[in-house]
Amino acid sequence: MTQALAAARRLVPRFAARAAGSDRDGTFPVDDFADLREAGLLGLMAPAHLGGLGAGFSEYAEVAYELARGNGATALVFNMHTSVTGALAGIPQALIEALGVPESFLRARDRLLAAAAQGAWYAVAMSERGVGSRLSQMSTMYSAERDGFRIKGSKAFVSGAGHADAYLVAARSAADPSLVSQFLVPAGSAGVTVEPTWDALGMRATSSHDLHLDVAVGADALLGGVEGLALLVAQLMPHWMVASYAAVYVGVAQAAIDAAVGHLTERGLGQLPAVRSRIGRADAAVAAAWLAVREAARRVDEAPGEPATNRWVWRAKLLAGSTAAEVAASMLEAAGTSATRRGHALERLYRDARCGALQPPTSDVCADWLGVAALGGDPEADGTGPRW
Ligand SMILES: Cc1cc2nc3c(=O)[nH]c(=O)nc-3n(C[C@H](O)[C@H](O)[C@H](O)COP(=O)(O)OP(=O)(O)OC[C@H]3O[C@@H](n4cnc5c(N)ncnc54)[C@H](O)[C@@H]3O)c2cc1C
């Protein structure tokens, strides 16, 4: 077992003990993040020479799955941070050379990863109220200004808003709106404000508030050092955009089984055939989804960006999201009305699990992508609407 996985397993009981409180109050799990920082897990994806743990995608998936068994909301915000650091650490050398990525970006990237290894963490401010996560439709715009850029716009669903050290902000160029770029904006910058709007069905502790931006950033805040890379990165590294949530939601689904088993055992109802069959089906469904996530993760580590890898990536997201919602609903039904009371672990897990299929790409979008691929088409080009 790796050091990171062992650390994650140690944290699970603590996260689980705090989960009900932060869900009830809709407050950010500040203590969980202090624990993650102390355990060095915020540097999970940073390479060892920068002080990090140098994990690959498979190790990330194992860690995220464990953390989600403790608190899905904490694991989901952690997933946003690892998506930023994992994508930064994983930019292939060939791509760096092909794009002519400037040396200044490589230095900025190493600074960001070293800071993560020291405990800094980054949130993702991509989605907008009107267009969800469709990068090509964003209304947040940037323009060149003095030695850097000015970014103006509003973001929604920013998990960890008000707590992160910096935000990965996606914006379109005012000069050429077909260019979508990403910037890492320090949270304390003048012109960055959080509007506390998150009061949602599930994942209530993620503090996924709105973020308003009218902010000047230096040239080195532009990720990749070249404008217009965001759509390319979404296609070349779909694992961070598509499948990184998958491990989180399989962990949430397993937590729902564990909670149902505990509840039913306590009540002496485990021998009921209907209950046993529900638990058995849930066990098989979660094991199958987890196998798919692990297969996708293994392929991401061995052959990132290959068509066969990407197909597993989309399968993993679809299976994890749908399985979590179905399993949690079945476990709640098996456990009965007393498990629907506020404060019962299953009541929270049922709501948290519901979010997996809704996070982009939604299960419907994943199914469409996979359907196009299975029919012999090009799933990146043949969608019914823009996926990014
Ligand atoms: C718990 C949680 C945390 C989140 N955290 C973050 C975060 O930290 N940062 C962030 O940027 N965002 C975050 N999001 C937001 C998320 O990334 C999405 O952008 C947002 O949920 C999409 O909004 P929407 O579903 O309202 O809209 P839409 O994307 O517009 O989807 C609406 C409907 O249209 C369908 N649809 C859309 N496009 C297509 C298509 N091409 N083909 C077929 N059907 C389509 C969808 O399946 C869905 O049914 C979070 C969301 C949740 C639930």
Q: What is the largest CA-CA distance in the chain?
A: 71
Burial readout 323-334 (b: 16 or more C-beta within 10 A, e: otherwise): bbbbbbebbbbb
30 backbone dihedrals φ, ψ, rounded to 5°? -55, -40
| Residue 209 and residue 198 in contact, taking contact as beta carbons nearer than 8 Å | yes
SS3 for 258-281 is HHHHHHHHHCCCCCCHHHHHHHHH
> Angle, nearest 10°, between helix axes 57-70 and 72-89?
160
Say how many C-beta atoms besides its own lie within 10 A of residue 143's C-beta.
Answer: 12
Q: Smallest Cα–Cα separation from 250: which of 285, 226, 302, 297? A: 285
How remote is the CA of residue 359 from the centroid of ligand 1, in Å?
5
264 contacts 334 by C-beta, under 8 angstroms: yes
Distance (angstroms) between ligand 1 centre and the Cα of 127 equals: 7
Best substitution site from 135, 362, 363 to test ligand 1's pocket, by max atoms within 8 Å of Cβ?
Answer: 362
Q: Which of 76, 180, 358, 366 to mutate to test the pocket of ligand 1 (most atoms within 8 A of CB)?
A: 358
Residue 213: predicted pLDDT: 98
Check whether domain 237-374 has CATH 1.20.140.10, yes or no: yes
Distance CA 316, CA 309 (A): 11
Protein residue with its CA nearest to atom 28 in ligand 1: 132
Residue written as tokens 């749908």? Answer: 322
pLDDT of residue 171: 97
Query: 379 CA distance to ligand 1 centroid (A)?
Result: 19
Phi and psi at 307, nearest 5°, equal -55, -40
> What pLDDT was estimated at residue 236?
74
State residue 192 phi and psi, 5-degree precision.
-115, 115
- What is the 107 CA–ligand 1 centroid distance (Å)? 33
Instruction: Using most ligand atoms within 8 A of CB, pick from 240, 365, 384 the residue to mutate for ligand 1.
Output: 365
- Cα Rg for the chain, rounded, in angstroms? 20
- Give the tokens for residue 241: 């955009």
Phi, psi of 266 (to 5 degrees): -60, -35
Fold of the 3-121 domain: Butyryl-Coa Dehydrogenase, subunit A; domain 1 (1.10.540)
Residues of the chain with CATH 1.10.540.10: 3-121
Distance set, CA 360 to CA 147, 311, 370 (Å) = 34, 16, 15
| Confidence (pLDDT) at 126 | 95
CA–CA separation, 17 and 253 (whole Å): 18
The CA 111 to ligand 1 mean position distance, Å, reads 31
Q: For ligand 1, which residues put their CB under 6 angstroms from it?
A: 80, 123-127, 132-133, 157-159, 203, 206, 208, 355, 358-360, 362, 364-365, 368, 383-385, 387
Please report the pLDDT score of residue 233 as a whole number.
Answer: 77
155 C-alpha to ligand 1 centroid (Å) = 12
- For a mutational test of ligand 1's pocket, the pick from 78, 122, 127, 194, i.e. the residue with the most ligand atoms closer than 8 A to its C-beta, is 127
Please name the residue whose Cα sits nearest to atom 38 of ligand 1.
387
Which tokens belong to 168? 């990965």
From 1.10.3720.10, 2.40.110.10, 2.60.40.10, 3.40.50.80, which CATH number describes the 123-227 domain?
Answer: 2.40.110.10
Backbone angles phi, psi at 37, to 5 degrees: -65, -50
Q: With helix as H, strand as E and coil as C, how does the chain read?
A: CCHHHHHHHHHHHHHHHHHHHHHHHCCCCHHHHHHHHHCCHHHCCCCHHHCCCCCCHHHHHHHHHHHHHHCHHHHHHHHHHHHHHHHHHCCCHHHHHHHCCCHHHHHHHHHHHHHHHCCCCEEEECCECCCECCHHHCCCEEEEECCEEEEEEEEEEECCCCCCCEEEEEEEECCCCCCEEEEEEECCCCCEEEECCCCCCCCHHHCCEEEEEEEEEEHHHECCCCCCCHHHHHHHCHHHHHHHHHHHHHHHHHHHHHHHHHHHHHCCCCCCHHHHHHHHHHHHHHHHHHHHHHHHHHHHHHCCCCHHHHHHHHHHHHHHHHHHHHHHHHHHHHHCHHHHCCCCHHHHHHHHHHCCCCCCCCHHHHHHHHHHHHCCCCCCCCCCCCCC
Please give the distance, rounded to the nearest whole angstrom, from the Cα atom of residue 270 to the centre of ligand 1: 38
Gap from CA of 187 to ligand 1 centroid (Å): 23
For residue range 29-82, what is the model confidence (pLDDT) as tens digits?
Answer: 999 999 999 999 999 999 999 999 999 999 999 999 999 999 999 999 999 999
In the chain, CATH 1.20.140.10 sits at 237-374
| Strand partners for 365 | none
**Residue 134 Cα to ligand 1 middle (Å):** 8
Query: What are the structure tokens assigned to 141, written together?
Result: 């715009």
Per-residue pLDDT of the chain (388 residues; tens, 9 = 90+): 899 999 999 999 999 999 999 999 999 999 999 999 999 999 999 999 999 999 999 999 999 999 999 999 999 999 999 999 999 998 878 778 887 888 888 899 999 999 999 999 999 999 999 898 888 899 999 999 989 999 999 999 999 999 999 999 999 999 999 999 999 999 999 999 999 999 999 999 999 999 999 999 999 999 988 898 888 777 777 788 778 899 999 999 999 999 999 999 999 999 999 999 999 999 999 999 999 999 999 999 999 889 999 999 999 999 999 999 999 999 999 999 999 999 999 999 999 999 999 998 899 999 999 999 999 999 988 876 666 7
**Substitution candidate for ligand 1 out of 159, 209, 244 with most atoms within 8 A of CB:** 159
CA atoms of 71 and 77, how far apart (whole Å): 10
pLDDT value, residue 386: 66
**Ligand 1 mean position, distance from CA 159 (Å):** 13
Considering the chain, tell me which residue range(s) the CATH 2.40.110.10 domain(s) occupy: 123-227
pTM for the whole thing? 0.96
> What per-residue confidence (pLDDT) applies to 384?
67
List residues bridging with 144 in a β-sheet.
149
- Of ligand 1's listed atoms, the one at least distance from the Cα of 355 is 53
Residue 353 burial by CB count (10 A; 0-12/13-18/19+): exposed, middle or buried?
buried
